[in-house]
Structure 1
Amino acid sequence: MIHHNMPTSSIKQRMLSYRRVVILAGGTLLVLSALTYIVIRSTRPPLPAKYLTAIVQQGNLSQIDSATGEIIPVETYTVSVPANASLSQLNVSLGQTVNTGQMLATFSDPTLASEVAAQNAAVLSEQNQVNLLLSSEYRASQQASIVQAEDNLQQAEDQLAQAQSQGVVTSSVEGPLTQVASVGEYVSSGQPLATVGGKTITAPCQGTVQHVNVTIGQQITPGTPILTLTSPSLTSKILGDESQVAGLQAALDKVMSQDSQTQLTASLDQAKAQLERDQQTLVQEQQALANLVVQAPFSGEVTMLNSSAPPGAKLLTLDSQAKMVTVPIPETQINLIHTGQSVSVSLPALPGKVVSGTVQSIAPVGNYSNGVANFPVNVTLNNVSGIRYGMSADVSIVVKTIHGALLVPLASLHSRGSHDFVEVLASNNQLTRIPVHVLLENATTAAVKSKRLAVDDRVITAVLTSPSGKLHLKAKGRTLHKGKTAGKKGHTK
């Protein structure tokens, strides 16, 4: 036997080749085993599908508009120092809570007080005049005045006639006129003026013959005017009497005109009109005087105070305890809002606090911005405990409610084009597709109408699958709404 000595390097190479074969064989076996497991695993029947369901209920669903605003007072009352007045007394302090009718401040104005007193006296005078014109005593007084005026006129006329008769010389006898004084002749009292039937007629007073009424030889009868005398004193007296008669006649005419029903009515209307004007002025001045004493028109809090305010400047501001929030509602939703509507208000500054409110008013004109018009809506709060002016508030207004509808989870609702349907799980674990008409939906629920869907039916909301032996949840139906904004559909009520 021949032995050959092999080199050490060759032995090492053979050992490495052997290891590679072993490793390769082991790896191949491992891969074959894995493939065999996969094939066997894939040929096993899948586990039956399992479903998550929800029971169809009947109830109400509401659509809600949400918006944010600022808490402000329902009413604000500002007190200013009146012109020409000064502050006499200040009865409140900054931040103080006051009740309706509580005294806030008092002012003084001496000039206004004097004007009120004078105007009050004028009103009393006008009222007395009206009462006089309406009284029966006034009519009696007017009649008495007429009688008196007529008497006075008659006396004056008598005096005038007497004065005028003093210058006329008449005959006291009967017979032919044989002698008479000539015109322009001056005679003294008792001097012969004429001779009638042999008897002399003398001058009753001194004067100048102004006019001769007869001729020589004329047959004269008793009472026939023979001539007229004149004198400065007699003329003056006659003129004075005539003037007196004219004045008394005018006075009588005035009294008689005042006594007529037409004039009485006119005088009464004039007096009443003047009385009404004076009364209106008095009321205004009395109101101004009353305003010098300022009372709280409502319960609230003093939010501004300037005790050194000059006349005409603001002294204080009173904000009502009643509070409200103004929120913008888009034009697409404003027709769904109406006064008296109930709302829910939450306040970020007071976590967990939710108060009810009422829509008080809706602005007739919107604010246009970025292509959209928003209408301010004022909401009064029903419970303001702990709520401060200026806080932000989130307002939710129920704008639409569906009553007595079938309610299903939004996750169970499917859409194909313009048609909606749900899937109902039957007792044999089979699915039945049922068409529905969506009336309203919110973030999680839909109100539907269907002839085939009934209360207590179970609708599919998700399916549990196990294609690899591991359960997986696969949602069905619509995705839940997120980030609701004003005008979107809200929660179930």
Structure 2
Amino acid sequence: MIHQNIPASSLKKRILPYRRVVILAGGTLLVLSALTYIVIRSTRPPAPAKFLTAMVQKGNLSQTDSATGEIVPVETYTVSIPANASLSQLNVSLGQSVNSGQILATFSDPALASQVAAQNAAVLNDQNQVNLLSSSTYRAAQQASITQAEDNLQQAEDQLAQAKSQGVITSPVAGTLTQVAPVGESVSSGQVLATVGGKTIVSPCQGTVQSVNVTVGQQITTGTTILTLSSPSLTSKILGDESQVAGLQAALDKIMSQDSQSQLAASLDQAKAQLERDQQTLLQEQQALANLVIKAPFSGEVTMLNSSAQAGAKLLTLDSETKMVTVPIPETQINLIHPGQSVSVSLPALVGKAVSGTVQSIAPIGNYSNGVANFPVNVTLNNVGGIRYGMSAQVSIVVKTVHNALLVPLASLHSRGSHNFVEVLASSGQVTRIPVHVLLENATTAAVKSKRLKVHDQVITAVLTSPSGKLHLKAKGRALHKGKAAGRKGGSK
């Protein structure tokens, strides 16, 4: 046997690899054991899933738009003291509620009262004139005056004709002229002027032969002018008669111009027109006098009062009992709103109070800001008990409604790209995915349309899981629209 001396360091190097192998083998065994345990546990049947479901229903779904505004009166009535008037009586106090027609205040104006009295007298005088011109007795009297004037003129004209005829001597018979007074001869009343056919013709008055129209021996006929006489007394009478005729003619013309039927009708029309003008003036002055008694045009509350106000200054302000709120609605929703539409209103100051309203009007022009136009919408409140001016109010207006649609919770609705679906849990526990078409959504519910989804189907809204032995709720579908029902002051969502 041959022995060799081996160094200790070399021996140590030879023993070390065997220890590593042992350690590695042990570690590998531990890892394999752990993996085996995990595999064994993982091959256990999973705990059955538990679902939260909701029943599919059929009905109507509405989408609302909400906004916040300030409560203000629908109407405001301001009373000022009229010029030249003074306050004689004040019947209300600040904050007082008044009814329509109730007297608020009374003013006095002595000058206006005097004008009304004078104008009333003028109207009475106009009415008397109209009554006179309209009277049949007056018309008959005026016609009688015209007839009498015509008769007087005719008599005067007859007298004038008679006076003029006295100076013209005519033959009363036919025959031969045997005698005639020469021109220039002075004759007395009753003196023979001519002889015709043996019949003498005497002078009717004293005068002078002015002209002779025939010659002695001439054969004349009845009515032939023989000669003319001139007489100062006759001339004076003729002038007097002519003057009388002219005067009576002028009087007749005046009566005819004033009191003829056509003129009476014109005078009556003028009198009626004057009466109407004075009546209008009287009505205006009476209305001004009546306006000195101030009555409430509507029921409301006195919100401003200045009892020491002077002429021309504001005395009080009455705000209507009817209240409204103005809210901004975005341009994308404004065409879905119309006057007369019912709305719901909530007030932070009156929690739990149910208030309804009606859209009264929509502004034709919007307010443009930050790339969006909002249109002011006036909403009148229907039950205003306890509501004060200046309170804030949130208005919810239904902008769209779907009728007779399938309704599912928003939490049951899933989206994949442009497609939507719900998961239906059958009584056997089987889960089926069913496509749906979304018609409308609000804060919690969706109205859908589907050929496969039926009323009373159970749609899954959440899953109950139990990792580590503890139950956890895992929501399915879409999240709720947080804040959907809440509006912001000055805008809407």
Q: Which residue of 2 aligns with 1:59?
A: 59
Q: Deviations over 1:43-62 (max 9, x none)?
A: 43432322221111233321
> Using the alignment, how far apart are the partners of 1:92 and 1:461 within structure 2?
62
> Match of 2:85?
85
- Corresponding residue number in structure 2 for 1:305: 305
Change in 2 beyond 3 A, CA 1:241/1:163: farther
Q: Deviations over 1:215-264 (max 9, x none)?
A: 675879898552233579557625532431330341354267x325xx56
**In the alignment, is the contact (CA less than 8 A) between 1:210 and 1:230 conserved in 2?**
no
2:228 counterpart (222, 226, 229): 226
* Aligned partner of residue 154 in structure 2, secondary structure: helix
Contact 1:463-1:476 at 8 Å conserved across structures:
yes
| Secondary structure in structure 2 of the residue aligned to 1:180 | coil
Query: Residue in 2 aligned with 1:382?
Result: 382
Structure 1 residues 452 and 265, CA gap change in structure 2 (3 angstroms): farther
CA distance in 2, matches of 1:487, 1:142: 86
Residue of structure 1 equivalent to 2:14: none
The separation in 1 between residues aligned to 2:320 and 2:209, in whole angstroms, is 100
Counterpart in the other structure of 2:10: none
Q: Please state how far the C-alpha of 1:411 moved relative to its aligned partner.
A: 0.8
Q: Provide closer, same or farther for how the CA distance between residues 467 and 130 of structure 1 changes in structure 2, counting only shifts above 3 A.
A: same
Question: Match of 1:434, SS?
Answer: strand
Tell me whether 1:409 sits opposite 2:412 in the alignment: no
| Cα distance in structure 1, aligned partners of 2:205 and 2:463 | 156
User: What is the SS of the residue equivalent to 1:358?
Assistant: strand
CA–CA distance in structure 1, aligned partners of residues 400 and 110 of structure 2: 62
Structure-1-length-normalised TM-score: 0.79
Q: CA deviation at 1:165?
A: 5.5
Cα 1:37–1:115 shift into 2, 3 Å: same
**Other-structure match for 2:211:** 212
Instruction: Tell me the amino acid that sits aligned with residue 261 of structure 2.
Output: D
Q: Which residue does 1:348 correspond to in 2?
A: 348
The residue number in structure 1 matching 2:483 is: 483
**Alpha-carbon separation, structure 2, partners of 1:244 and 1:210:** 32
Q: What fraction of aligned residue pairs are identical, expressed as a percent? A: 72
CA distance, structure 2, for counterparts of residue 363 and residue 68 of structure 1? 16
Question: Which segment is superposed worse, 451-460 or 36-45?
Answer: 36-45
Give the Cα–Cα distance (whole angstroms) in 1 for the partners of residues 280 and 39 of structure 2.
109
> 1:47-446, aligned counterparts within 5 Å?
47-161=47-161, 164=164, 168=167, 170=169, 176-181=179-184, 195-197=193-195, 201=203, 204=206, 212=211, 214=213, 217=216, 224-230=226-232, 234=237, 237-238=240-241, 240-251=243-254, 253-254=256-257, 258-260=260-262, 266-446=266-446
Aligned partners of 1:81 and 1:309 also within 8 Å? yes
Q: Give the residue type in structure 2 aligned to 1:212.
A: S
The 8 Å contact of residues 99 and 296 in structure 1, kept in 2 or not, is answered as yes
**157-166 vs 189-198, which moves further:** 189-198
Please give the alpha-carbon distance, in whole angstroms, between the structure 2 residues aligned to 1:358 and 1:442.
22
Q: Identify the range of structure 1 (272-281 vs 193-202) with the bigger mean alpha-carbon deviation.
A: 193-202
Structure 1 residues 402 and 148, CA gap change in structure 2 (3 angstroms): same
Q: Any idea what the Cα deviations from partners look like across 1:380-437, whole Å, max 9, x if unmatched?
A: 1122121111111111112333333222110111223333221101122211122222
Query: How far apart in 1 are the matches of 2:309 and 2:191?
Result: 100
**SS at the partner of 1:89?**
strand
Aligned length: 453
Q: Which moved more, 1:223-232 or 1:448-457?
A: 223-232
Query: 1:308 deviation in Å?
Result: 2.9
CA apart distance, 1:338: 2.1
Aligned-partner Cα distance in 2 for 1:52–1:156: 130
Aligned to 1:491: none
What is the deviation of 1:291? Answer: 0.6
SS class of match (2:119): helix
User: Secondary structure at 2:250's aligned position in 1?
Assistant: helix
TM-score by length of 2: 0.79
Unpaired runs of 5+ residues, structure 2, are 1-22, 489-493
Question: In structure 1, the residue corresponding to 2:61 is in which secondary structure?
Answer: strand
